[in-house]
């Protein structure tokens, strides 16, 4: 594409008052010889937009640089179609709104009598002007280095695979199928329904949320069995899922069996470094079937576009709490055993089949002042105890159900359910610390509870004790998805979240770190039937969104609609595998030699691979190492004698970027010595940019990204963390160059901390002032 | 493990509370707002929070063997501020009713008075007694001539015999109940894992006198906020009753002073047979007392109506008691008015009703809400005796 640049500078929103627009234009026309540069008092108005449109039509302008407000606003106004490149230069929020327009200067003048006097005079602030000009320079350079992305398009399928035939899986399948997609549902058991089919009644799913409801799972099973768009595979498991969104190749197998299409264990480090010597039969049992490499194609595999994982969970084993007598006394059971018993008929004691008229429910193991509930407990286990207490009352008019809890959690509308259950005169509730369960001669049990609301330590004699144990997500035990990915068959970092699948839990539910694989129900969080249904519906929608984005060559999340994808200049690849290893989404599978095999539809376009690559051979059409490097170099670094510092900041465009805009919006002032360059993610920051900045004579580099660690906020999960790891190397390099390591710093920033922007920036500027100018300035 | 404190929650007792005006009992979730807003509770182990969970768990013995349910004056501050609508005031009222029933002697009367289906039967007792007497005397029709209840209808001797018998019966009931209650209170205090400090405030008679003085001033009652007018209403009823009791004794002095000692009318004091002239000091005193009682009970009804939204509607047990007093005072006043107006056809039946209801009040006092005077006194005395009494009242 032959580029013709047009630079348009807006004078509205105080930009014209804070900056000298003429001088800004000169940057474009004189320094960069941009053929067309225009200013307008209100570019976003009808007249301003038509001015640009006119140039597109008559002058053939196709690369438009707009120096006005933040690119986060008015993007609809400045949309000139897919065939034109638009670059927004933010001179409003990040220049005139956050910096002083004038400053006081001491000027020596002579009065009429020739006497010298010193006067304070107000002059335009040259620092603010320099800042604006630098942003124009960077904008022009960036526009010059951008090309239009061409979407990655293939023959994609739109079929949806749902793993798990419980209430979540069934709902997801029905919802997706009713929207017009073909769905295959896989259940490893011979029957559909999961735990929901084993319930006597369910926690309410509709208003007024106060009474138990008959379980409606059978209706769903009936609906799914007759659905023309749904294929059911019971007694089936996933051997492997290879490929990528839009073209997942799924090998099924009979549940509990092993096949050669099972995913081989990840390669060991020494294997990776050596030449293609994989499969060592030594570590495998004699009957072990040799698994095919992940890149081998199973011709019998079925193709799916997207996967919804609704694998549910398994009941936790409470044997570890010996004082409760589970496993020791026949009449101490778990809530799952209770549910099974209740579904069969009247509640009876397992020891002798005698009617269980008084039942104690234990919510928290107690002992030694420990406040925690059973592992994997939640509001759901609280509500299950309430529900099962009601069973006792349904079965026996003189039935008594005691619930001993540390926490009774019935959030939101479920308060109605709590109230209703509590209102039953035979349900006795108290907070308390369970001291122990003992068995009496007649197999009845005595539960001792300390520190109750009754004001003393009590004990009750009961026929049966039910422990409110939690559901452990299936992903804790089994990869379930068995991805033929080089990073391994399972979801990542499961151990950080007790086996629950995770990816920005609050902001992006259903998403996982495997693009095109969505989770719903109990693999994500313990849920009631009603919540499972809601969750399944959400996941089905996300799956459809993924299909329809992939189909058009667009990223799904969080860069929805982005059609760029990483391109590799393989001739220069050293097969170091850093990209394969660091990609937070496992988008790359290296082959036997270690050459990365990109899977564009798995990619979220964060650019972490680009940041990782030491050879800098990974680039996007509109985002690459050279582009940002050139932007850094475009910044005008004043000579040392001008006494002005220059700092470049790479800013995460997801959270820190918006925070900067908000700071501007709130007219918070900060140093004009710093230039911000938005990056897709700190993970995409290639250390060469830091070197570029230093050799250009910049005095410091600041990296502003998301919080990382347990409560990470990174949109790409690992970006800011990876960047931080690379910082160690940077410090080392700086040391070698005899530059102070403090010149390069990374800060963790949360989107709601915009008011701390001046503090963060000015603090860094102070640090730089402390170490002085970059000695390499001017070289 | 050490000896476990095995409790036996009584489901039937929970249901009883809920059927006796405490139907909101189970709504309590133990936030203790009630105990915080209560102005009459001691600060240590305050009520009614703990009573609420004891009641939810059907721990009858704990509730009964503790004076706290009677330290409560049902101000209903707790009910008004309860975030769950659990109405602790109403619940404690129901528990007090069950406590009266529990200590009732004979116990079947305890149940009968609290249950609307026995109301007619209970009323039938005095009706039959009085009809029998009237039948025996041949007074079963409206007498002619100037109205005189004593001479032409129900002789004083008969009235006294019946009422003294009823009163003795009531006293026996009270005695049996209070003795058992005191015993339980003592054992409750001893068994309790949270023994109160024993700060005995002197000999029991002194404590009793202190307690009675406290009644006279309604010192506790005045701490109520939501239903602060109830204190005044109760004061009227209380002193109305006291006045009428004094007037009754005074009348006996007139009657027997004349009959046995031949004392004649002297000055303003009209010794002799009833009716006594309206200007007689005893008559004036009696009439004022009756009017006070009438005004008091009307206020009680009005207060209850006005506070219903905040304090609850009250139970059958409450309203039975109020209705009895209202009937007694209205028929009493009407009997006098109708006698003076000389409307015999109405006067005698009204007087008959009056007698029936006075009997009801007397004979069933240990089983009706009237029993509060005995049990609350006992509880307050015990509270002072055991050191349960809060400092602010001592």
DSSP per-residue letters across A525-571: S---HHHHHHHHHHHHHHHHHHHHHHTTT---SSSTT-----EE-GG
Handedness of CA A150, A154, A160, A164 (dihedral sign): negative
Taking the Cβ of residue B343 and every Cβ of chain A, the question of whether any pair is shorter than 8 Å is answered with no
| A431: phi then psi, degrees, rounded to nearest 5 | -75, 150
Mean pLDDT score, A106-133: 85
| Residue in A400, A435, A455 closest to B194 by CB | A455
Per-residue confidence (pLDDT) for residue B93, from 0 to 100: 94
**A191 CB-contact burial (10 Å; exposed 0-12 / middle 13-18 / buried 19+):** exposed
Distance from CA of B4 to the nearest CA of A (A): 6
Instruction: Locate B248 and state its tokens.
Output: 């009754």
Per-residue confidence (pLDDT) for residue A231, from 0 to 100: 97
Predicted confidence (pLDDT) per residue in B304-352, tens digit: 998 888 888 888 999 999 999 999 999 999 999 999 999 999 999 999 9
Res. B228 pLDDT band, cuts 50 70 90:
confident
**B163 CB-contact burial (10 Å; exposed 0-12 / middle 13-18 / buried 19+):** middle
Q: Output the CA angle A589-A592-A593, nearest 5 degrees.
A: 100
Answer whether B11 sits within 8 Å of A455, measured CB to CB.
no
- Contacts (Cβ under 8 Å, ≥6 apart) of A577: A272, A590, A594, A596
> Of A599, A632, A640, A605, nearest to A619 (Cα)?
A605
Proportion of chain B in helix, strand, coil states, percent, rounded to 5: 70, 0, 30
Mean pLDDT score, A239-248: 96
What 3-state DSSP class applies to A643? Answer: coil
Chain A interface mutation, best of B2, B3, B4, B6, highest count of A Cβ atoms under 10 Å: B4
Taking the Cβ of residue B7 and every Cβ of chain A, the question of whether any pair is shorter than 8 Å is answered with yes
Res. A274 pLDDT band, cuts 50 70 90:
very low
Taking the Cβ of residue B16 and every Cβ of chain A, the question of whether any pair is shorter than 8 Å is answered with no
pLDDT mean across residues, chain A: 92
Task: Provide the 8-state DSSP code for A656.
Answer: H
Kind of pairing between the strands at A427-431 and A433-439? unpaired
Mean pLDDT score, B251-276: 85
Q: Which fold, A623-779?
A: Rossmann fold (3.40.50)
pLDDT at A661 over 70: yes
Query: Is A635:A746 a contact under the CB 8 Å cutoff?
Result: no
Per CB-CB distance under 8 Å, the chain A contacts of B7 are 454, 458-460
Answer whether B1 sits within 8 Å of A435, measured CB to CB.
yes
Q: What are chain B's domains?
A: 11-103 (1.10.1060.10), 115-393 (no CATH)
Distance from CA of B17 to the nearest CA of A (A): 10
A688 alpha-carbon distance from chain centroid: 27
Predicted confidence (pLDDT) per residue in B44-66, tens digit: 889 999 999 999 999 999 999 88
Distance from CA of A516 to the nearest CA of B (A): 46
pLDDT at B197 over 70: no
Query: Is A523:A476 a contact under the CB 8 Å cutoff?
Result: no
Searching chain A, which residue's CA lies closest to the CA of residue B62?
A454
- Contacts (Cβ under 8 Å, ≥6 apart) of B242: B289
Q: Output the CA angle B128-B133-B138, nearest 5 degrees.
A: 120
Searching chain A, which residue's CA lies closest to the CA of residue B4?
A459
Taking the Cβ of residue A178 and every Cβ of chain B, the question of whether any pair is shorter than 8 Å is answered with no
Answer whether B56 sits within 8 Å of A426, measured CB to CB.
no
Per-residue confidence (pLDDT) for residue A281, from 0 to 100: 45
Do you know the residue count of chain B?
394
Distance from CA of B182 to the nearest CA of A (A): 23
ipTM above 0.90, yes or no: no
With a CB-CB cutoff of 8 Å, which residues 49-108 of chain B face chain A?
Answer: 50, 53-54, 56-57, 59, 84
Mean pLDDT score, A281-308: 81
Res. A276 pLDDT band, cuts 50 70 90:
very low
pLDDT at A114 over 80: no
With a CB-CB cutoff of 8 Å, which residues 408-437 of chain A face chain B?
Answer: 419, 422-426, 428-431, 435-436
Q: What is the CATH number of domain A319-457?
A: 3.50.50
Per CB-CB distance under 8 Å, the chain B contacts of A425 are 11, 14-15, 18, 25-26
- Cis upstream peptide for B157 (omega within 30°): no
Searching chain A, which residue's CA lies closest to the CA of residue B84?
A419
Q: Alpha-carbon Rg of chain A, whole angstroms?
A: 32
Place of tokens 């495998």: A284
Instruction: Locate B60 and state its tokens.
Output: 């009858």
Handedness of CA B285, B291, B293, B296 (dihedral sign): negative
Mean pLDDT score, B367-374: 93
Answer whether B26 sits within 8 Å of A423, measured CB to CB.
yes
Percent of chain A with pLDDT over 70: 97
Distance from CA of B385 to the nearest CA of A (A): 23
Distance from CA of B26 to the nearest CA of A (A): 5
Distance from CA of B126 to the nearest CA of A (A): 39
Q: Out of 3.40.190.10, 3.50.50.60, 3.30.930.10, 2.70.150.10, which CATH number does the structure's domain A160-274+291-313+474-550 have?
A: 3.50.50.60
pLDDT at A737 over 90: no
Answer whether A455 sits within 8 Å of B15, measured CB to CB.
no
Class of CATH domain A567-619: alpha beta
Query: Is A378:A338 a contact under the CB 8 Å cutoff?
Result: no
d(CA B27, CA A186): 45
Res. A221 pLDDT band, cuts 50 70 90:
very high
DSSP A597-614: EE-GGG-----HHHHH-T
Per-residue confidence (pLDDT) for residue A779, from 0 to 100: 63
pLDDT at A285 over 60: no
Which residues make beta-bridge pairs with A449?
A434, A458
Mean pLDDT score, A514-539: 95
Predicted confidence (pLDDT) per residue in B88-145, tens digit: 999 999 999 999 999 998 889 999 999 999 999 999 999 999 999 999 988 888 888 8
| Residue in B11, B26, B84 closest to A400 by CB | B11
pLDDT at A662 over 50: yes
Per CB-CB distance under 8 Å, the chain A contacts of B14 are 425-426
Return the higher-pLDDT residue of B140 and A536. Answer: A536
Answer whether B50 sits within 8 Å of A454, measured CB to CB.
yes
Query: Is A156:A177 a contact under the CB 8 Å cutoff?
Result: no
Answer whether A422 sits within 8 Å of B1, measured CB to CB.
no
Answer whether B6 sits within 8 Å of A461, measured CB to CB.
yes
Buried b (16+ CB within 10 A) or exposed e, A297-308: ebeebbebbbbb
* Range(s) of chain A covered by CATH 3.50.50.60: 160-274+291-313+474-550
Mean pLDDT score, A113-126: 84
A298 alpha-carbon distance from chain centroid: 31
Distances (CA, A) of A46 to A10, A90, B25: 13, 20, 69
Taking the Cβ of residue B4 and every Cβ of chain A, the question of whether any pair is shorter than 8 Å is answered with yes
Kindly report the number of other CB atoms within 10 A of residue A153's CB atom: 14
Give the CA count within 13 Å in the CB-facing half-sphere of B208: 7
**B278 CB-contact burial (10 Å; exposed 0-12 / middle 13-18 / buried 19+):** exposed
Distance from CA of B59 to the nearest CA of A (A): 10
H or E element at residue A106: strand A102-110
Instruction: Locate A1 and state its tokens.
Output: 């594409």
Task: Provide the 8-state DSSP code for A483.
Answer: B
Res. A284 pLDDT band, cuts 50 70 90:
low
Answer whether B5 sits within 8 Å of A422, measured CB to CB.
no
Predicted confidence (pLDDT) per residue in A467-480, tens digit: 999 999 999 999 99
Distance from CA of A358 to the nearest CA of B (A): 11
Distances (CA, A) of A72 to A425, A558, A727: 58, 15, 29
Distances (CA, A) of B185 to B91, B201, B375: 20, 17, 11
Mean pLDDT score, A396-406: 96
pLDDT mean across residues, chain B: 89
What 3-state DSSP class applies to A249? Answer: strand
d(CA B332, CA B55): 40
Taking the Cβ of residue B11 and every Cβ of chain A, the question of whether any pair is shorter than 8 Å is answered with yes
pTM for the full model?
Answer: 0.86
Distance from CA of B106 to the nearest CA of A (A): 29
> Of B359, B369, B315, B366, nearest to B123 (Cα)?
B359
Which residues make beta-bridge pairs with B199?
none
Chain A interface mutation, best of B2, B9, B61, B86, highest count of A Cβ atoms under 10 Å: B9
d(CA A148, CA B205): 102
- Looking at A428-560, list the stretches that DSSP marks H as alpha helix, in order from N- to C-terminal side: 529-550
Searching chain A, which residue's CA lies closest to the CA of residue B15?
A425
d(CA A204, CA A419): 13
d(CA B323, CA A765): 85
Contacts A–B by Cβ distance under 8 A? 63
Which of A61-75, A124-138, A583-597 is the least confident region? A583-597
* Range(s) of chain A covered by CATH 3.40.50: 1-102+122-148, 623-779
Predicted confidence (pLDDT) per residue in A164-201, tens digit: 999 999 999 999 999 999 999 999 999 999 999 999 99
Per CB-CB distance under 8 Å, the chain A contacts of B18 are 425
Query: Is B142:B344 a contact under the CB 8 Å cutoff?
Result: yes
Answer whether A423 sits within 8 Å of B56, measured CB to CB.
no
Per CB-CB distance under 8 Å, the chain A contacts of B57 are 428, 430, 454
pLDDT at A711 over 90: no
Task: Provide the 8-state DSSP code for A204.
Answer: -
Q: Which fold, A1-102+122-148?
A: Rossmann fold (3.40.50)
Searching chain B, which residue's CA lies closest to the CA of residue A460?
B6
Searching chain A, which residue's CA lies closest to the CA of residue B85?
A419
Res. A275 pLDDT band, cuts 50 70 90:
very low
Taking the Cβ of residue A397 and every Cβ of chain B, the question of whether any pair is shorter than 8 Å is answered with no
Answer whether B54 sits within 8 Å of A454, measured CB to CB.
yes
pLDDT at A531 over 80: yes
Per-residue confidence (pLDDT) for residue A278, from 0 to 100: 47
Searching chain A, which residue's CA lies closest to the CA of residue B2?
A448
Which of A619-623, A708-712, B81-85, B96-100 is the least confident region? A708-712
Mean pLDDT score, B292-301: 95
Chain A interface mutation, best of B3, B7, B66, highest count of A Cβ atoms under 10 Å: B7
d(CA B75, CA A146): 79
Instruction: Locate B259 and state its tokens.
Output: 């009959």
Q: Long-range contacts: B316-322, Cβ < 8 Å, 24+?
A: B316/B21, B316/B114, B316/B116, B317/B20, B317/B21, B317/B93, B317/B94, B317/B97, B317/B114, B317/B368, B317/B369, B318/B21, B318/B93, B318/B369, B320/B113, B320/B116, B320/B119, B320/B368, B320/B369, B321/B368, B321/B369, B321/B370, B322/B297
What 3-state DSSP class applies to A638? Answer: coil
């Amino acid at each position: 594409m032959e580029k013709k640049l047009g630079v348009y500078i807006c004078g509205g929103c105080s930009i014209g008052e804070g900056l000298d627009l003429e001088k800004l234009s000169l940057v474009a026309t004189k320094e960069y010889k941009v053929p067309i540069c225009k200013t307008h008092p209100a570019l976003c108005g009808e007249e301003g937009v038509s001015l640009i449109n006119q140039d597109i039509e008559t002058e053939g302008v196709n690369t438009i640089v707009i120096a006005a407000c933040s690119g986060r606003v008015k993007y609809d106004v400045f949309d000139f179609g897919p065939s034109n490149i638009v670059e927004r230069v933010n001179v409003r929020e990040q220049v005139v709104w956050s910096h002083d327009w004038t400053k006081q200067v001491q000027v020596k003048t002579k009065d009429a009598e020739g006497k010298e006097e010193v006067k304070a005079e107000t002059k335009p602030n040259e620092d603010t002007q320099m800042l604006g000009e630098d942003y124009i320079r960077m904008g022009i350079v960036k526009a010059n280095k951008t090309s239009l992305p061409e979407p990655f398009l293939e023959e994609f399928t739109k079929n949806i695979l749902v793993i798990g035939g419980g209430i979540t899986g069934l709902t997801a399948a029905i919802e997706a199928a009713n929207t017009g997609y073909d769905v295959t549902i896989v259940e490893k058991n011979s029957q559909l329904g999961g735990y929901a089919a084993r319930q006597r009644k369910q926690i309410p799913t509709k208003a007024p949320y106060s009474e138990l409801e008959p379980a409606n799972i059978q209706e769903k099973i009936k609906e799914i069995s007759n659905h023309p768009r749904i294929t059911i595979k019971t007694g089936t498991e996933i051997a492997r899922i290879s490929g990528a969104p839009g073209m997942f190749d799924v090998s099924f197998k009979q549940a509990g069996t092993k096949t050669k299409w099972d995913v081989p264990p990840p390669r060991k480090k020494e294997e990776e470094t050596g030449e293609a010597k994989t499969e060592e039969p030594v570590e495998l049992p004699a009957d072990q079937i040799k698994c095919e490499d992940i890149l081998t194609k199973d011709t019998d595999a079925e193709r799916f576009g997207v996967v919804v994982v609704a694998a549910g969970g398994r009941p936790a084993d409470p044997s570890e709490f010996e004082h409760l007598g589970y496993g020791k006394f026949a009449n101490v059971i778990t809530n799952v055993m209770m549910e099974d018993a209740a579904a069969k008929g009247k509640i009876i004691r397992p020891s002798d089949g005698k009617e269980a008229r008084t039942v104690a429910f234990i919510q928290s193991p107690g002992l030694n002042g420990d406040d925690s509930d059973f592992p994997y407990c939640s509001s759901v286990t609280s509500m299950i105890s309430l529900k099962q207490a009601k069973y006792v009352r349904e079965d026996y008019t003189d039935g008594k159900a005691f619930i001993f809890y540390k926490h009774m959690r019935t959030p939101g509308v479920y308060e109605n359910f709590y109230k209703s259950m509590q209102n039953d005169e035979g349900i006795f509730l108290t907070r308390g610390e369970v001291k122990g369960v003992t068995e009496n001669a007649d197999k009845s049990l005595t539960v001792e509870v300390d520190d109750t609301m009754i004001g003393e330590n009590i004990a009750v004699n009961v026929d049966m004790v039910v422990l409110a144990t939690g559901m452990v997500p299936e992903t804790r035990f089994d990869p379930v998805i068995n991805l033929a990915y080089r990073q391994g068959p399972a979801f990542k970092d499961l151990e950080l979240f007790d086996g629950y699948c995770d990816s920005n839990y609050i902001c992006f539910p259903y998403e996982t770190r495997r693009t095109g694989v969505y989770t719903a129900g109990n693999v994500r969080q313990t849920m009631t039937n009603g919540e499972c249904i809601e969750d399944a519906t959400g996941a089905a929608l996300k799956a459809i969104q993924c299909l329809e984005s992939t189909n058009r060559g667009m990223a799904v999340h969080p860069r929805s609609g982005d059609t760029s994808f990483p391109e590799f200049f393989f001739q220069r690849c050293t097969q170091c595998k850093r990209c394969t290893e660091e990609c937070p989404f496992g988008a790359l599978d290296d082959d036997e030699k270690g050459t990365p095999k990109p899977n564009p539809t798995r990619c979220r376009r964060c650019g972490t691979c680009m940041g990782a690559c030491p050879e800098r051979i990974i680039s996007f059409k509109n985002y690459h190492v050279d582009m940002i490097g050139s932007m850094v170099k475009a910044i005008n670094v004043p000579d040392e004698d001008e006494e002005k510092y220059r700092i470049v900041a790479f800013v995460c465009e997801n959270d820190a970027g918006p925070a900067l805009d908000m700071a501007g919006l709130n007219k918070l002032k900060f140093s004009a010595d710093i230039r911000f360059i938005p990056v897709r993610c700190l993970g995409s920051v290639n250390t060469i940019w830091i070197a570029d900045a230093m050799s250009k004579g910049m005095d410091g580099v600041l990296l502003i990204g998301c919080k990382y660690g347990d409560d990470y906020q990174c949109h790409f999960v690992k970006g800011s963390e990876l960047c931080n790891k690379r910082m160690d190397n940077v410090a080392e390099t700086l040391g070698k160059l005899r530059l102070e390591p403090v010149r390069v710093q990374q800060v963790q920033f949360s989107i709601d901390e915009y008011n701390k922007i001046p503090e963060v920036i000015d603090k860094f500027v102070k640090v730089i002032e402390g170490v002085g100018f970059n000695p390499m300035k001017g070289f | 493990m050490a000896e476990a404190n095995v409790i036996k929650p009584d489901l039937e007792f929970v249901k009883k509370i809920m059927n006796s005006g405490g139907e909101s009992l189970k709504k309590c979730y133990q936030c203790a707002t009630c105990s915080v807003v209560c102005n009459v509770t001691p600060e240590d182990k305050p009520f009614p929070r703990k009573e609420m969970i004891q009641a939810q768990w059907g721990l009858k013995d704990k509730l009964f063997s503790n004076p706290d349910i009677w330290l409560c004056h049902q101000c209903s501050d707790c009910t008004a501020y309860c975030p769950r609508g659990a109405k602790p005031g109403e619940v404690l009222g129901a528990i007090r009713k069950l406590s009266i029933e529990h200590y009732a002697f004979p116990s079947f009367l305890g149940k009968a008075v609290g249950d609307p289906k026995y109301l007619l039967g209970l009323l039938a007792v005095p009706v039959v007694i009085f009809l029998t007497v009237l039948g025996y005397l041949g007074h079963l029709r409206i007498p002619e001539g100037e109205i005189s209840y004593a001479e032409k209808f129900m002789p004083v001797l008969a009235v006294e015999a019946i009422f003294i018998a009823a009163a003795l019966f009531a006293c026996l009931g009270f005695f049996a109940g209070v003795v058992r209650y005191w015993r339980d209170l003592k054992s409750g205090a001893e068994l309790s894992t949270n023994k109160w400090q024993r700060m005995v405030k002197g000999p029991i008679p002194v404590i009793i006198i202190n307690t009675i003085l406290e009644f006279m001033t309604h010192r506790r009652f005045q701490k109520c906020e939501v239903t602060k007018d109830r204190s005044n209403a109760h004061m009227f009823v209380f002193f109305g009753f006291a006045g009428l009791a004094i007037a009754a004794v005074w009348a006996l002095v007139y009657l027997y002073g004349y009959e046995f000692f031949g004392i004649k009318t002297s000055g303003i004091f009209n010794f002799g047979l009833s009716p006594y002239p309206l200007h007689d000091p005893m008559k004036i005193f009696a009439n004022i007392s009756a009017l006070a009682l009438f005004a008091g009970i009307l206020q009680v009804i009005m207060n209850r109506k006005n506070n219903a939204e905040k304090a609850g509607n009250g139970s059958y047990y409450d309203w039975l008691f109020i209705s009895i007093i209202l009937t007694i005072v209205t028929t009493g006043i009407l009997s006098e008015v109708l006698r003076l107006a000389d409307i015999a056809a109405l006067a005698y039946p009204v007087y008959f009703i009056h007698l029936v209801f006075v009997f009801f009040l007397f004979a069933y006092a240990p089983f009706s809400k009237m029993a509060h005077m005995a049990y609350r006194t006992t509880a307050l005395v015990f509270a002072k005796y055991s050191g349960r009494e809060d400092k602010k009242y001592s």
